[in-house]
Chain A
Amino acid sequence: MSDAGAAPHKQDFEEVLDRSDKSVAAFEGHEKNLMDRLQHFLHGNPTMVPVIVLAISIIAFGFIAGDRFFSAFNLSLIMQQVSIIGILAAAQSLVILTAGIDLSVGANMVLASVIMGNLGVQLGLPAPVAIGIGFICGALAGALNGFLVTKVRLPPFIVTLGTWNIFFALNLWLSGAQSIRSQDIDAQAPLLKFFGESINIGGAQFTFGSMLMVLIFAVLWYVLNRTAWGRHVYAVGDDKDAAELAGIRTSRTLVQVYALAGLVCGIAAWAAIGRVGSVSPQSFQEANLQSITAVVIGGISLFGGRGSIIGPLVGALIVGVFNSGLRLAGVDVLWQVFAIGWLTIIAVAMDQWIRKVSA
């Protein structure tokens, strides 16, 4: 028994601690061969994986398919071709970072584009108004997803599977399955096709749509990495209970994420009209899954909380490069689909490998 003012005493059995090994951990150094070093480097910089894959594939296809592939024009064309999926991948990334998934991004986008088209062309509203209403519809659709996930507490997969169908049906109902022709858009609301315009630099042709894609990724990178809200998004995806206990209002953050994703889909809708040239209710039916592919290849974990948003931009480009390269090399469409399938699996496997770092 000691008196109250004495310094803390150790338990008797802890006397030996003075003589104990003080080092926290000791490792037998072993020869780090090239693979180990590579694994270590990639572990510290996981976004390098898709970047390296992109670089290697561009070079490889340059050899295989020649300078029809490796020209400024073709590379900028690839950017154009992936621009819509790229923007949707940005929206999808936000949701996947919270350990959710959004199967409705494509349907949301098409619905918004049909709304914009009908308001701007059929009803003759001023184009900025039509576009603005399209944005709002996209955000509201996203907020609906968020509400169902947080308040009704349904799994995101189920919710967005349902809203995919709902948005799709609304799309058909509003559009009557009819496209709005390019020439009619030119006559009534040419602003709708804005993102299809392009500028030529050197031999490359950059559409405003491609530039928009890069801009959206830049803005989202800033938000996710340089603002508190962005940290909260990662925290909610990483460990929702911990985030809640730490004082983050997880439900509110989740609804905001889904609504923001929906808004990005609305922006994608405007870009899609420019890319396709018409308001087409039948296009982009595979966009939902393609956006998920780009996100996964870009290295964002489906379990949430990890990954850089720049990854999916690179992921979308990788898919575009593979499609273009294989095609210019004369490979049949079937094998392109085959290749993308394997790419996706390898991407996830690589992600698992670099997480296992020794020493």
Chain B
Amino acid sequence: MTVQPILTARGLVKRYGRVVALNHADFDLYPGEVLAVIGDNGAGKTTLIKAISGAIRPDEGEIRLDGQKVDFRSPLEARDAGIETVHQTLALSPALSIADNMFLGRELRKPGFRGRWLRALDRDKMEEVARQKLNELGLLTIQNIRQAVETLSGGQRQGVAVVRAATFGSKVIIMDEPTAALGVKESRKVLDLIQDVKSRGLPIVLISHNMPHVFEVADRIHVHRLGRRLCVIDPKKHTMSDAVAYMTGAMEPPVEAAVA
């Protein structure tokens, strides 16, 4: 009995004028796994991710979530369906507090009259939930939940963005270059965080250029090239230089790894 993928895409096509960014691309994500997506610049992996996170609508092809066909007209719709994205830019508002940022766009209101008529924010509750979630995922170095996000280090900010996605994401979490801007120690912390999230049962799509990190955390690696999925490889059965070779076209992948 095979496990069904939680998120699949078949035959995605996206054109920008004469440039074909996605050329009948496929995608599969299985429950509970960390799937890394790698590809050289211009290979179309960003476009692929945008399509499954609702940032763009493909010209052709279909996407299925939990077996149901979906058509996201905006990132909000993808979010409502349970797909959370941690963007490369983090989408955090620098001057607002950690708690504010956690709930940005999904604020909690006070119950009853004050919440409905005066539309009062339930700041205490939001701060409590934020603190709790940060603790759960081990981000204990943050002392004051009210401090502005801009006062945090890069790694701490990444942590907040990841915790936000993990808190609200119910089906899939996408992370776009989470360690790109971080130093050694902070990257380590983020990778640990990724493992924590995975252990709670959420599948993660990880886009990254950093081969060591990819090979460390990924269960499978989706290699994207020339607008389509070239192959999916097992990090335990291939080396990093293999992956780079496939990605850049220096080598053709072996038959059992090649897909479509």
The closest CB in chain B to the CB of A3 belongs to B236
Contact check, A228 vs B236: say whether CB atoms are below 8 A apart.
no
* Partner among A8, A222, A306 whose Cβ is within 8 Å of the Cβ of B216: A8
- Asked if A4 meets B195 with Cβ closer than 8 Å, knowing A17-B184, A247-B76, A247-B105, the reply is no
* Partner among A11, A17, A232, A243 whose Cβ is within 8 Å of the Cβ of B185: A17
List of A residues within 8 angstroms of B195 by Cβ: 8
Q: Which candidate, A130-138, A190-198, A233-241, A285-293, is the interface stretch facing chain B?
A: A233-241
How many residues of A are in contact with the other chain, CB < 8 A? 32
- Asked if A242 meets B93 with Cβ closer than 8 Å, knowing A17-B184, A247-B76, A247-B104, the reply is yes
The closest CB in chain B to the CB of A223 belongs to B119
Contact check, A227 vs B219: say whether CB atoms are below 8 A apart.
no
- Asked if A247 meets B100 with Cβ closer than 8 Å, knowing A24-B153, A242-B89, the reply is no
List of A residues within 8 angstroms of B87 by Cβ: 245
A248 to B185, CA, bound (A): 33
Contact check, B93 vs A228: say whether CB atoms are below 8 A apart.
no
CB distance from B162 to the nearest CB of A (A): 14
Among the interface residues A1, A231, A241, A306, which one has the most CB atoms of the partner chain B within 10 A? A231
Contact check, A242 vs B90: say whether CB atoms are below 8 A apart.
yes
A232 to B105, CA, bound (A): 7
How many residues of B are in contact with the other chain, CB < 8 A? 37
Question: How many A-B contacts at CB < 8 Å in the complex?
Answer: 91
- Asked if A1 meets B236 with Cβ closer than 8 Å, knowing A8-B195, A227-B119, A245-B87, the reply is yes
Among the interface residues B91, B184, B192, which one has the most CB atoms of the partner chain A within 10 A? B91
The closest CB in chain A to the CB of B212 belongs to A11
A278 to B184, CA, bound (A): 70
A229 to B87, CA, bound (A): 23
The proximity string for A residues 84-99 relative to B, scoring 1 for CB distances below 8 Å and 0 otherwise, is 0000000000000000
Which chain B residues (37-95) contact chain A, with CB distance < 8 Å? 75-76, 79, 85, 87, 89-95
CB distance from A127 to the nearest CB of B (A): 29
Contact check, B93 vs A239: say whether CB atoms are below 8 A apart.
yes
Contact check, A226 vs B120: say whether CB atoms are below 8 A apart.
yes
Which chain B residues (205-227) contact chain A, with CB distance < 8 Å? 212, 216-217, 219
Closest 10 CB pairs of A and B: A247-B105, A245-B91, A228-B107, A235-B93, A246-B104, A242-B91, A227-B119, A238-B93, A238-B95, A305-B95
